Structure 1
Amino acid sequence: MSATAARSESTVEPVDERLPLQRLLPLACQHLLAGVAAPVSSVILIATTLKLSSGQTASLLSATLVLCGIGALLQSLGVRVLRVGARLPFLMLPGGAAVAIFLQIAQEYGPATASGSVLVSAAFLLCVLPFYGRLVRLFPPLVMGTTVVLIGINMIKVTAPMVASEPGLGFATLGVIAFFFLVLRGVWRQMAVLLGLVGGTLIAVLTGTELQVAHGGTFALPDLFPYGAPHIDLLAAIPLLVFALASLAEATGQTVLNSEAVGRAPDPGRDVPRIARADALVSLGSGIFGTSLMVTSAENIGIVQLTRVRSRFVTAAAGVLLIVCGLLTPLTRLLAAIPEPVVGAAGLVIYAVIAVMGFGMLSRTDLSHGTDSVVIALALVVGMLPIVAPEMYADLPSWARTLFGSGVAAGAIAAVALSAVFRLLGPAVTSPSDGPGAPPADGSR
C-alpha cells in the first residue's frame, strides 16, 4: 500500500468505516436484537387492542419490520441529493408514545381515521421542517414531560382490561418481565419485554392455552390499507400532530447523543431536519400499511459504546436484516399468535415506563420558583379530566369533544399554551446564583 493510500485510509472517520462481512454481520445482529423488541411489542399491542385476526396481525408485523429496516437504511446511508437521513448509526422504530396515540385515535374514531392521521402528521412534519429552529422552542422539557406522562397514564387505562381477561397469566408475564430486567445486562436487558412475551406465551401453552397460528407461505408482502381507505379528520389527528412537532425536540437530543458517541461534532441544525425528513417519509408508508408513526431512535447507542464500533454501515446491515425478518411470514405469524393477557402485561410495562420517562423529563424542570409547577399542574388537570371523567364533555359540539375529550391532545396543547403565556407575561424568574443586577434567567429585561 502506498503512503498516500495509507494516509487516505487513516483519515476515514470511524462512523464511515467499512467493515468486512465477517465482522459486520455479528455486529448487525446485536443492533437487530436491540431494536426488534419495539416493533414486535407495538404491533402486537395494536393488533390485540383492535381485535385483528392472526393473519392481519402477521401482515402488520411484516410491514412494520420492513419499514423499520428501510428507516435504518435511510438514516445510516442517507440520500444526500434529497437531504434525507443523518448518515449516523440510527435505528428507526415505532415510538411507544406514537403507538399509544395511534391506538387512542383508532379506538375513538376507527383505525381508518388513525391511518389517515398518520398520513396527515407525516405530511405536516415535512411541511414544518423549514421552521425547525422556531418550533423546537415550543417543546421544552416541561411540555414534553407533561405530554409523555399523560400518554403513559392514558394507555395504562386502555391496556389494563387486556390483563383483566386472564389475570393469572397476565401477572405471571409481569413476573417474567421483571425477572429478565433483574438478571439481564447490556443488549439483552433491552430485550426483557420481548423475552417476557416469549416466557408468558410458554406459560400459556403449558397451562392449556391453544395458540391460533395462521397458515401461509414462507415469504409474503404485507397488505396495503388493512383498514380500508384512510379517513382524514384533522381534529382527530391533533394528538399525532402535536407528537410530530415534539419529535423534533427529541430528535435534537438524540442527534447530539449519537454524534458524540461516534466522534462527530454535533450539528442539529443540519442533521435534525434530515432525520425528521426520513421519519416523515417512512411514516407515510406507515399510514399506507396501517401502523403508527415511525421515529428515529438512539436505543442502540449503548451497543456502539460497548463495542466501540461506530460505523453506520453496521446499522445499515441491521436494516437489511429487519427487512428479511419482515418478509419471513412463519416468524411473523408465530409472533402474531401471542395471547392477549400476555400482550396486555407487556403493554402495562411499556406504558408505565413511558410515564416514568415523562416524570424524568419533568425532573429537569426548575420547580423552585413555582411558575413551572403551576403550568405542569394546570396542564395535567386539563389532560387528566378526559381520562377520569370523560362524561364531562358529552354535551359539547363534536369538534370540541374531539379537541378536549382526548387527554393527550388537550394536555399537550394546554402545556404549550400555558408555557408560552407564562414565559411572556408571567413574573421574571431569577436564579439564586444571579447577583442583584443580573438579568432574569429567561433573558427578559
Structure 2
Amino acid sequence: MSTPPPRPALPAPAAPPAPPGPADERIPVRRLAPLAVQHVLAMAAAPVSTVFLTAGALRLTGAQSAALLSAVLVLSGAGSLLQSLGVWKFGARLPFVMLPGGAATALFLQTAKDHGPAVASGSVLLAAALLLAVVPLYARIVRLFPPLVMGVTVLLIGIAMVRVAAQLIAGPAGTPAPRAVVLAGLTVAVTLAAYLLLRGVWRQSAVLIGMVAATVIAAVTGLGTFSPAGGGGFAVPHLFPYGTPRFDLVAALPLLLFSLTTLAEITGQTVLNSETVGRPADPGRDVPKVARADALTSLFAGALGTSLMVTSSENIGISRLTGVRSRHVTAAAGALLIVLGLLSPLSRAVAGLPPAVVGGSALVVYAVIALMGVQMLARAGLGDSGRSMAAALALAVGLLPLVAPNLYGGFPAWVRTVLGSGVVAGTLAAVVLHALFTVRAGSVRNGEAPRDPRTLA
C-alpha cells in the first residue's frame, strides 16, 4: 500500500500591516479643519510682517503690496504642502510648515537698498540654485557652520535689521513725526501684552495681534491711517515685479552665505521634528529632502519678488500642545494658505497697515532674531578662551560697518560690497577664526606645536 504524497505546506499567514506612525495618521475632516486653522493662525504673522517690511523698504504701492502678500502666502502654502506630503526627493514628509525667512528677508532688503530690487531678486535665485547644488555635499558644508558661526551670523542680522526697522518708523524724510514713534511704541506694547497675557496659539500670534490692534488704535485716534488698496476678486502674484532679475555674484554674497548656513539650521529642525513625531532621526536621509524643497520654493520666491523661503519649526509647539503630530494637518494648513493668498480682499486690506505699525512689529521680530543669535552663541561653549576670542573678533568685524558705514568708502567696489556688509564680513571672519582656533587647540591637545594654517590643505 503506497503512502499518499505529503501535502504542500500552507503559506504562513501574512503579518498584519504595521499601524501608521503619528506623522502619517489620517485625521477626519471635522477635526482636520480647526487644527489646520490653528496652524495658520500661528504662522500668519511671519508672511504678513515680511510683506510689509518689504513694501515699506521698497516704497511699494498698495496694489504691489497686495500682489506681494498674495505671492508670499501662496509660496508658504505650497512649500508647506511640499514638505508635508513629499514629492520624489523633495520634502521629508514631516509636519513642517514653510515661511519667508526673517533673516533672509533682512539680507534681501539690504541688497535691494544697496544695489536695487532687481539685483536682490537675482541674488535670491542664485542663493536658491547654490543650495540645490550643494545638497550632495551636505556633510562637508554643514561643518563650516557650527553654533559659534551661526550665532555670530544671526546676531549681526538681527542688529542690522533693528536699524532698518527704525528707518521704517522714521519714514522717507529720516526724521520721524512724534505720532509715528508713539504708534510704533503702542504696537510694541500691545504685542508684549498679548505675549504675556495669552496662551497657546494666540500667544504665538502676538505679533499679528499687535499689528491689528495698533492699526485700530491708529484709525480711531488719528495717529495713522488705514488705507486698503482698491480692487476685489482674486489676487494674482506678479512675475518679476521689479523687472528682469540681475545677477551680481559679489552683491549676492550675503544671501549666498546665508543659504549655506541654513543647512545647519535645517539639520537641527529636522532632528527635532523627527523626535516630536516619534520617527528615528536620520539627517543624512531627511535633511537633503528638506533642503531641496526649500531651494525649489525659493526659486519661485525669487521670481515672484520675495526672499528665500525656509522651513520653520515654530509649529512644532502646536503639535506638542495638541498631541496631533500628523503631517496631513500641516498639509491642510498649506492648502488653506494658498486659498487665503488668492483672496484679493484679504491681501488688499492688509496692504493698508500704517508704516509705523509695520516698523513697530519689525522691532519685535528682529530683536527676537538677535536674541536667537545670542542663544546660539551660548550653546557654542564660549567658556573656552579660543572660542570666545573668535566670537569676539568676528562680532567686531561684523559691527564695524554698522557703526561706521563709511569705513570702507575709499576701497574698490567689491571690497565695499564684501566688507561693507556686516553679515558677510562677520560670517567670513567667524568661519576663518573658528577654524584657526580649532586647529590650534587640536595641535596643543596632541602635544604638537601649533601648526601654521597656511600649510593646511
Q: Same fold (TM over 0.5)?
A: yes
Match of 2:455 in 1: none
Q: Residue 105 of structure 1 contacts residue 113 of structure 1 at CA under 8 Å; is this kept in 2?
A: yes
Farther off after superposition, 417-426 or 381-390: 417-426
Q: Distance in 1 between matches of 2:136 and 2:100?
A: 24
> What amino acid sits opposite 2:52 in the alignment?
I
Q: Residue 60 of structure 1 contacts residue 289 of structure 1 at CA under 8 Å; is this kept in 2?
A: yes
Cα distance, 1:181–1:5 mapped onto 2, change above 3 Å: farther
**Mapped pair 1:76 → 2:84:** yes
Over the aligned positions, Cα root-mean-square deviation in angstroms equals 1.6
Q: TM-score, normalised by structure 2?
A: 0.91
Match of 1:433 in 2: none
Q: Secondary structure at the match of 1:226?
A: coil
Match of 1:142 in 2: 148
Q: Distance in 2 between matches of 1:193 and 1:429?
A: 49
Match of 2:199 in 1: 185
Q: CA deviation at 1:18?
A: 1.3
Q: CA deviation at 1:210?
A: 3.0
Q: Secondary structure at the match of 1:42?
A: helix
Match of 1:203 in 2: 217
Q: CA deviation at 1:155?
A: 0.7
Q: Residue 369 of structure 1 contacts residue 429 of structure 1 at CA under 8 Å; is this kept in 2?
A: no
Deviations 1:220-253 (A, max 9, x none): 2111111111111111111111111110000000
Q: Distance in 2 between matches of 1:64 and 1:43?
A: 8
Q: Choose 1 or 2 for highest CA Rg.
A: 2
Of residues 350, 355, 377, the one that matches 1:335 is 350
Q: CA deviation at 1:429?
A: 7.0
Of residues 160, 171, 177, the one that matches 1:154 is 160
Q: CA deviation at 1:349?
A: 0.7
Q: Distance in 1 between matches of 2:313 and 2:28?
A: 24
> What amino acid sits opposite 1:62 in the alignment?
S
1:197-276 correspondence runs (5 A):
197-208=211-222, 209-276=224-291
Q: Distance in 2 between matches of 1:303 and 1:63?
A: 25
Match of 2:452 in 1: none
Of residues 294, 298, 305, the one that matches 1:290 is 305
Deviations 1:404-426 (A, max 9, x none): 00011111111111111221235
> What amino acid sits opposite 1:132 in the alignment?
Y
Q: Residue 106 of structure 1 contacts residue 114 of structure 1 at CA under 8 Å; is this kept in 2?
A: yes
Of residues 180, 186, 189, the one that matches 1:175 is 189
Q: Secondary structure at the match of 2:263?
A: helix
Q: Distance in 1 between matches of 2:285 and 2:23?
A: 17
> What amino acid sits opposite 2:21 in the alignment?
E
Q: Distance in 2 between matches of 1:20 and 1:352?
A: 40
Match of 1:55 in 2: 63
Fraction of identical pairs, as percent:
60
Q: Distance in 2 between matches of 1:401 and 1:172?
A: 38
1:243-392 correspondence runs (5 A):
243-392=258-407
> What amino acid sits opposite 2:113 in the alignment?
Q
Q: Distance in 2 between matches of 1:230 and 1:195?
A: 35
**Mapped pair 1:34 → 2:42:** yes
Q: CA deviation at 1:118?
A: 0.2
> What amino acid sits opposite 2:242 in the alignment?
Y
Q: CA deviation at 1:151?
A: 0.3
**Mapped pair 1:110 → 2:116:** yes
Q: Secondary structure at the match of 2:228?
A: coil
Match of 2:98 in 1: 92
Deviations 1:176-196 (A, max 9, x none): 111111101111111001110
Q: CA deviation at 1:212?
A: 2.1
Of residues 124, 127, 133, the one that matches 2:133 is 127
Q: Distance in 2 between matches of 1:352 and 1:325?
A: 28
Q: CA deviation at 1:5?
A: 11
> What amino acid sits opposite 1:233 in the alignment?
D
In structure 1, the gaps of 5 or more residues are: 431-435, 438-445
Q: Secondary structure at the match of 2:391?
A: helix
Cα distance, 1:316–1:425 mapped onto 2, change above 3 Å: same
Q: CA deviation at 1:218?
A: 1.5
> What amino acid sits opposite 1:331 in the alignment?
L
Match of 1:443 in 2: none
Q: Distance in 2 between matches of 1:429 and 1:34?
A: 49
Q: CA deviation at 1:369?
A: 2.5
Match of 1:419 in 2: 434
Q: TM-score, normalised by structure 1?
A: 0.93
Q: Secondary structure at the match of 2:329?
A: helix
Q: Secondary structure at the match of 1:211?
A: coil
> What amino acid sits opposite 2:306 in the alignment?
T
Q: Residue 65 of structure 1 contacts residue 325 of structure 1 at CA under 8 Å; is this kept in 2?
A: yes
Q: Distance in 1 between matches of 2:145 and 2:225?
A: 47
